[in-house]
Chain A
């Protein structure tokens, strides 16, 4: 038994030593140096600047947008690059010098809203699609990217030129996704095969069980880049999913600030450089940046329901204080829940 204890102890020690070793790396992209700016007193930017810490929620497993590199421990991708540029506007300096001031926190689709509401993160940049439902609990700056739904086929397939050509063909997408809805709307006679993940769709395409895969172009681009030229993108996009920067509801000053910064990096070419270094590298074609949408914040609903039906709200306080669950006014949830997505980009 003593031997076993030693063994366990050794394992624990090993991990501790291992964990205490850090590492370093860099992502070279076009940068610009700024002097430390002054922000309006009391604003979120001023607070972050004073704290010296900018907390960003992002995904760690989304190719091209936010992916953790196990060799460096750092997150890489387009979302990360955008976050760094927002950080430059807050702290001044350049993309390199702000890096230590940014703390990336891994978020998954479902904890993005709670993390924003709770203040656990300052912003969320995590392939976060702007929707009216979400606007009732959080606010969005941007969009800074529009993912278009596209089609992927085998490289030698020339029969599919647009979504209409999928009628009568077997097409694959993820169960319950918005992609599925769009496909059924645009190609009603397509034979839809539903899998749980897009890599399964890719496998099915490879062995001929389906003739096409359709979803957001960046996801397809990832599959194409891994396919050894067996697949290609049709490049006939047929619907839009705008990705935005999620932040606390009602913080219009911060939202405007980020929107200004986004427009700035659109104009000075940094957005394009960030795109090329990340999404461009997985074969995605760059389009002009999307127009920033400065909408007026929706009133927060009285309860914290995100239901689309009864948006009966009083006052646009950013609170998420309603702790009572029994006083719900939501009745129309059943319709919206049947269309839940497995993939909510």
Chain B
């Protein structure tokens, strides 16, 4: 791990002092961990009986089945949200004012909505009005509507972040608007957008857990039911959290690799978008990125 040092290398005195502080800090952290373990033990939460169910093959399969449901809903929602987000982004950059206003309204509207409300809406209101599909699709729908709005902003910011000279040069070469966009602008912008897109996808994956409020049998729902059944909610939910962390860390790692590679190759200039939860914040913003706040 290479931590960014706020100054040059430390001298001998400072180094000795750091070593002392390190020892003290390590002791304090160890103390905290110890206290937590003691608390767990005192309340009987470390008892083998509470963990044993989680080692049964059937229970593991049950939880992994939940993870599979999570991944299924997430992957489909990712693909659809990306496609629709792309269309929306082009809509917002279109020359036709009607298209601009309509897509703009969609994006601004759904970007300010809590996803949970959308999940409740699609899961409780749509069935009442005859939209009869599996619960899976209600979750996908809510995720796509929300994330396409966020992704549209990422795409748009990415496209706008490119220097105007690029388009101008393309036009000078006789490219049409769309030719310039697709051949010159998008390929370059895409590279800058990758990190922001991936972190939004991580957010999407986490957000699938909201499916549990309308009883989609994803990981969280199954972990809760397991905890109810064996009366070990702490242990079951902990197991679920570990699974989420594992998957998300893997995804984030990919994102970070991409980010570093991007920066090395093309200089700074990743995209940030207001309203997204997780930002690939590379505070160095590019010339014209300036993604405005919603509104």
Q: Given the complex, which residues of A lie within 8 Å of B214, measured CB to CB? A: 108, 111
Please tell me if the beta carbons of B132 and A67 are within 8 angstroms of each other in the complex.
no
Please tell me if the beta carbons of A4 and B250 are within 8 angstroms of each other in the complex.
yes
Q: Given the complex, which residues of B lie within 8 Å of A60, measured CB to CB? A: 215, 225
Given A70-B226, A71-B59, A118 and B64 touching (CB < 8 A)?
A: no
| Residue among B68, B132, B213, B230 making CB contact with A15, cutoff 8 Å | B68
A-B contact pairs, 13 of them (CB 8 A): A4-B254, A5-B254, A8-B251, A14-B64, A67-B225, A69-B229, A70-B225, A108-B213, A108-B215, A113-B128, A118-B127, A118-B128, A323-B129
Task: Mark B57-92 against chain A: 1 for CB-CB distance below 8 A, else 0.
Answer: 011111111011001000000000000000000000
Q: Given the complex, which residues of A lie within 8 Å of B221, measured CB to CB? A: 106
Closest beta carbon of chain A to B47's beta carbon, Å: 13
Whether, in the assembled complex, A313 has its beta carbon less than 8 Å from a beta carbon of chain B, the answer is no
Whether, in the assembled complex, A161 has its beta carbon less than 8 Å from a beta carbon of chain B, the answer is no
Given A70-B229, A119-B132, A11 and B222 touching (CB < 8 A)?
A: no
Please tell me if the beta carbons of A70 and B215 are within 8 angstroms of each other in the complex.
no
Q: Given the complex, which residues of A lie within 8 Å of B253, measured CB to CB? A: 1, 4
Q: Given the complex, which residues of A lie within 8 Å of B11, measured CB to CB? A: none
Q: Given the complex, which residues of B lie within 8 Å of A117, measured CB to CB? A: 127-128
Q: Given the complex, which residues of A lie within 8 Å of B67, measured CB to CB? A: 11, 15
Whether, in the assembled complex, B224 has its beta carbon less than 8 Å from a beta carbon of chain A, the answer is yes
Task: Mark A108-128 against chain B: 1 for CB-CB distance below 8 A, else 0.
Answer: 101101110111100000000
Q: Pick the 10 closest A-B CB pairs, nearest first.
A: A118-B127, A15-B68, A18-B64, A114-B127, A19-B65, A70-B62, A106-B215, A18-B61, A71-B58, A15-B64
Interface residues of B (CB under 8 A from A): 53, 56, 58-65, 67-68, 71, 123-125, 127-132, 213-215, 217, 221-222, 224-226, 228-231, 246-247, 250-251, 253-254, 257
| Residue among B59, B65, B228, B246 making CB contact with A61, cutoff 8 Å | B228
Chain B contact residues: helix, strand, loop or mixed? helix
Please tell me if the beta carbons of B128 and A304 are within 8 angstroms of each other in the complex.
yes
Please tell me if the beta carbons of B59 and A70 are within 8 angstroms of each other in the complex.
yes
Q: Which A residues, 1 to 46, have Cβ-Cβ distances below 8 Å to chain B?
A: 1, 4-5, 7-8, 11-12, 14-16, 18-19, 21, 23
Given A114-B124, A114-B127, A15 and B65 touching (CB < 8 A)?
A: yes
Interface residues of A (CB under 8 A from B): 1, 4-5, 7-8, 11-12, 14-16, 18-19, 21, 23, 60-61, 63, 67-73, 106-108, 110-111, 113-115, 117-120, 226, 304, 320-321, 323
Q: Given the complex, which residues of B lie within 8 Å of A120, measured CB to CB? A: 127, 132
Report the nearest A residue to B120, measured CB to CB.
A110
Please tell me if the beta carbons of B68 and A18 are within 8 angstroms of each other in the complex.
yes
A320 to B127: give the CA distance in the assembly, Å: 10
A1 to B257: give the CA distance in the assembly, Å: 7
Q: Given the complex, which residues of B lie within 8 Å of A118, measured CB to CB? A: 127-128, 130-132
| Residue among B123, B128, B228, B250 making CB contact with A67, cutoff 8 Å | B228
A42 to B60: give the CA distance in the assembly, Å: 44
A119 to B131: give the CA distance in the assembly, Å: 10
